[in-house]
Amino acid sequence: MTTNTLFIANWKMNKPFSQAAEFCKNHHASMISLSRQKNVSIAIAPDFIVLDHLAQSFASSAVHIGAQNCSTHQKGAYTGQVSAQSISDAGADFCIVGHSEIRAAYHQSNEDVAQAMRNVIHANMFPVVCIGQTEREQSHNQTFALLESQIMALITALKGSDAHPITLAYEPVWAIGTGHIPTPSDISDIFMYSKKLWDRYTKVPLRLIYGGSVNSTTIKQFKGIPLLEGFLVGSGSLEFQEFEKIVHLYMQ
Ligand code: PGA
């Protein structure tokens, strides 16, 4: 597993095809040079329609292109859904699963998310699995119990599978799009807990990243957090200059 710091741009539904193609045209070379920076890996998750275009444009570069979600099913009569295999065939090499916006919108259980993760692995991509607690769960002291059940469902689903590295994105739901971030010591406690739990049950390599209000103002506060190996960046990734600034400020 690489020790590079991974910066994933999660564009969500913010860039329709025309804008995504424009972004690609304007920032193609700069995105590639960002991805060549020492100890950095760059990834972009556009919407499904944009995926193929981006995967082709960045095909011969180190920039990873991936989807924001995939179906919990492998194939079949599931109108409107997109399979992990189709995403992989379009040239993606990773897929985010279990984002809190998807968990909420599609009422996904931890087992559904684990199944989607298996589909991603089966389609030869690397999964980025999101976990995290809501404000309510946190105020009821349920954070660790909740994270345990989210993580244990993944560990159970990985039993007997090859050692495909898993990227776990810790995203407290209350930090997404709000400008509020957890304290470094809270993130650190959660990472230690997650890593310990993971290593107790599986030898599958784990990469821990953080997401939720990562931008050029907050990024410095994440420096020095043990076990932190990257970021899932939403609104901070929409403008190239801001995304580049986040990478530079963290890496300098
Ligand atoms: P945000 O989103 O950076 O806009 O808070 C992060 C995410 O939801 O992945």
DSSP 126-160: EEEEEE---HHHHHTT-HHHHHHHHHHHHHHHHTT
Tell me the pLDDT of the chain averaged across its residues. Answer: 96
Cβ contacts of 228 within 8 Å, gap of 6 or more: 187, 191, 208, 209, 210, 222
Alpha helices in 4-46 (DSSP H): 17-35
Pairwise CA distance, residues 120 & 129, whole Å: 10
| Average confidence (pLDDT) over 53-82 | 97
Residue 5: alpha-carbon gap to chain centroid: 13
CA of 55 to the centre of ligand 1 (A): 22
Q: What is the pLDDT of residue 162?
A: 66
Give the active site residues: 99, 171
Q: Residue of the nearest CA to atom 2 in ligand 1?
A: 234
| Average confidence (pLDDT) over 173-191 | 97
Q: What is the pLDDT of residue 177?
A: 96
CA of 162 to the centre of ligand 1 (A): 30
Q: What is the pLDDT of residue 88?
A: 98
Asked whether 212 lines ligand 1 (CB < 6 A), one says yes
Give long-range contacts, CB 8 A cutoff, 24+ apart: 216-223.
Answer: 216/242, 216/245, 216/246, 216/249, 218/179, 218/181, 219/246, 219/249, 219/250, 220/249, 220/250, 221/181, 221/184, 222/184, 222/187, 222/250, 223/250
CA of 233 to the centre of ligand 1 (A): 5
Please check the confidence at residue 14 and state whether its pLDDT lies above 80.
Answer: yes
CA of 224 to the centre of ligand 1 (A): 21
Band of pLDDT at residue 76, cut at 50, 70 and 90: very high
Asked whether 95 lines ligand 1 (CB < 6 A), one says no
Query: Could you read off the pLDDT of 199-219 as tens digits, one per residue?
Result: 999 999 999 999 999 999 999
Please check the confidence at residue 114 and state whether its pLDDT lies above 60.
Answer: yes
Pocket test residue of 235, 237, 245 for ligand 1, highest count of atoms within 8 A of CB: 235
How much is the pTM?
0.97
Pairwise CA distance, residues 124 & 194, whole Å: 25
Q: Which atom of ligand 1 is nearest to the CA of 235?
A: 4
Asked whether 235 lines ligand 1 (CB < 6 A), one says yes
Q: What is the pLDDT of residue 1?
A: 43
Length of the chain: 252
Asked whether 177 lines ligand 1 (CB < 6 A), one says yes
| Average confidence (pLDDT) over 64-89 | 98
Q: Residue of the nearest CA to atom 6 in ligand 1?
A: 234
Q: Which atom of ligand 1 is nearest to the CA of 96?
A: 9
Cβ 22 vs Cβ 55: under 8 Å: no
Furthest C-alpha separation in the chain: 49
Name the strand (E) or helix (H) holding 48: helix 48-57
Asked whether 233 lines ligand 1 (CB < 6 A), one says yes
Pairwise CA distance, residues 242 & 231, whole Å: 14
Q: Which two tokens stand for residue 154?
A: 């993944």
Query: Could you read off the pLDDT of 27-63 as tens digits, one per residue?
Result: 999 999 999 999 999 999 999 999 999 999 999 999 9
